[in-house]
Amino acid sequence: MSEARLKLVTALISLVAVIVACTLGLMYFEQWTFLDAIWMTIISLSTAGFGDIVPQTTAGRIFLMVMIVLGVGVVAYSLGAIVSIIIESQIYRIMGRDVMREKIAGLNNHIIVCGAGRVGLSVLETIRSENTPYVLIDQNADIVAHLQAQGIVAMVGDASKDEVLLEAGIQRARGLISALSEDPYNVFVTLTARALNPTLHIVARAERQETVDKLKRAGADRVIAPAQIAGQRMASAILKPASVELVDTLFASHNIEVQIEELHIPEGCSLVNTTLRNLNRDDSNVIIVAIIRGNEIIVSPRAHMDIRAGDTVIAMGSRADLARLEATTMTTTCPAS
């Protein structure tokens, strides 16, 4: 593309130079006005040749013949460069679309992010920092092309349509985040996604509080209201600054010292009906913050507490320690969930 654009720029500069030179030359040799000279230049280079005015001097005719030969060549070169850019653009788009479709077709247990606005891109940044497979959907082709150029797995489409979500691999996905800027669109996306995959975990964005219940009825497992959360965080930053700083540290994508991780205990795991000590040994350097059991949250559980199937264990520690805990404990004692 850069070579084709360079050719086009060169051709346009040459074309402008020929037009300017021909116009000034005719004004000099024929003593024509600027309008007559530019008119004769344009109809000559375009090979229209109306014949309403013609050079009267020998020098003017010779000069015009030379300029026509040069100009027609420059015009042909310019048109060729334009056609080359158009063809190459289409080829790159087709090839890029096919490559992206192959990438999406190979995704499994991924997250679908709908919307490439400020919220959607912030969600995407966090997901990418966790090395979680994903695909982004947005209707703006220019934005998608820009993201694809950065290596982001993205596709153009309306996320409320069945065929778009199916192409995004919704039946193989682990979750969907609808982060569109308007509530009705988020409701439509949630309804469509829930119909296509009843077991999908769906998180939806709500700008208005009255939309929260509608999104839940549409099938959203969790509804996030950014304005409400922002207000709460701003108030907490004044009232409880140290707590807010701790939370920011835990959830900052660039933080590598302290992280929070979820460990799911599925049916068939050998940890079921054993104590929490079997999951978190004394030398693991990981703190078990809480256990989520259905609608109950058990904060700071004791080491002798039993682990049950379906529990979600919330652990805190360094990224390396958490990865080691999951690798040495979960993967060797629990089946893939």
* pLDDT the model gives residue 272: 84
Beta-strand (E) ranges in 32-98? Answer: none
Q: How many CB atoms lie within 10 A of CB 208?
A: 11
As given in the structure block, the two tokens for residue 269 are: 């795991």
In degrees rounded to 5, what are phi and psi of residue 46? -85, 0
pLDDT tens sequence across 198-237: 999 999 999 998 899 999 999 999 999 988 888 887 888 8
* pLDDT the model gives residue 251: 62
> In angstroms, how far is CA 311 from the centroid of its own chain?
33
Domains of the chain, start order: 2-100 (1.10.287.70), 107-224 (3.40.50.720), 256-333 (3.30.70.1450)
Length of the chain in terms of residues written: 337
pLDDT tens sequence across 157-176: 999 999 999 999 999 999 99
Residue 134 and residue 124 in contact, taking contact as beta carbons nearer than 8 Å = yes
Proportion of the chain above pLDDT 90, given as a percent: 39
Q: Judge whether residue 257 has pLDDT over 90.
A: no
As a whole number of angstroms, the distance between CA 12 and CA 18 comes to: 10
The neighbouring-strand residues paired with 230 are none
DSSP line for 169-218: TGGG-SEEEE--SSHHHHHHHHHHHHHH-TT-EEEEE-SSTTHHHHHHHH
Q: What pTM did the predictor assign?
A: 0.59
pLDDT tens sequence across 306-326: 888 888 888 888 777 777 777
Which residue type, as a one-letter code, is found at position 296?
A: E
* pLDDT the model gives residue 202: 97
